[in-house]
Chains A and B, each alone.
Chain A
Amino acid sequence: MTFEEKKNERNSVPRKKNCWFCENRIFFLDYKDEAMLRRFLSDRGKILPRRLSGNCAKHQRSLVEAIKRARHVALLSFVADSLR
């Protein structure tokens, strides 16, 4: 790999993901909607960071709050070692 290719590869801007909630016009995130919340958890049950999920800040904050509420009421697990 020549130096130019390596240089371009390093600062190649990743594809801009747009916010899934803004696209689908969802503005109320319910902690009971387990299927939708599970989509933003990693396979280990951890919350996906914004740079990976592509959410905007407003939705990411309400998403995190909903996930933590769901975890409190045992709808989602804290550590998904045995994925349900």
Chain B
Amino acid sequence: MVKDYETMVVIDAMISDEAIETEIASVEKKILTHSGEIKRCDKWGKRKLAYTINKQTHGFYVIFYYKADKGIVLDLERGFNINTNILRYLTLTDYPLTEIIYNQDHISSSEDTVGFDIDYGDAD
């Protein structure tokens, strides 16, 4: 039963670019072996993490939108767990494919914050 999947992977940015490319290629190869089909692959590139993970402050964000049968998720995540270069991964299913590609320049452009008239003072 083929399903739509979206997997976001945060790769350690300290490793060399070739190593990052091999990581991405290995994920794509794994998807293809599961008779999968990659719809889109967004590379956000190197970004500052909101908090440090394994003492790393920067991560390379890659998002795969693909269609595969259900054995893919277990296989992918087993590979992610073993691999020390992968800091975080998040796999979602039946998640709509957004046309907007969010990355660094998009974030700074849409900063129109709604005027909240609340002064949400924190007691603690």
Contact = CB atoms under 8 A, between A and B. Distances in A.
The dominant DSSP class at the A interface is loop
Interface residues of B, number: 28
Contacts of B3: none
A73 B90 contact: yes
B122 A73 contact: no
B96 A28 contact: yes
B114 A33 contact: no
Interface residues of A, number: 26
Given A28-B96, A74-B53, A34 B102 contact: yes
Contacts, number: 57
B63 interface: yes
A61 interface: no
Contacts of B50: 71, 74-77, 84
B88 A74 contact: yes
B122 A84 contact: no
B2 to A, nearest CB: 22
B113 A69 contact: no
Given A35-B111, A39-B114, A73 B120 contact: no
A52 B118 contact: yes
Contacts of B16: none
Contacts of A46: 122
Interface of A: 20, 28, 30, 32-36, 39, 42-44, 46, 48, 52-53, 69, 71-78, 84
12 contacts: A32-B8, A33-B100, A34-B102, A35-B107, A36-B110, A39-B113, A43-B122, A46-B122, A52-B120, A73-B61, A74-B10, A84-B48
Interface of B: 8, 10, 48-51, 53, 59, 61, 63, 87-88, 90, 92, 96, 98, 100, 102, 106-107, 110-111, 113-114, 116, 118, 120, 122
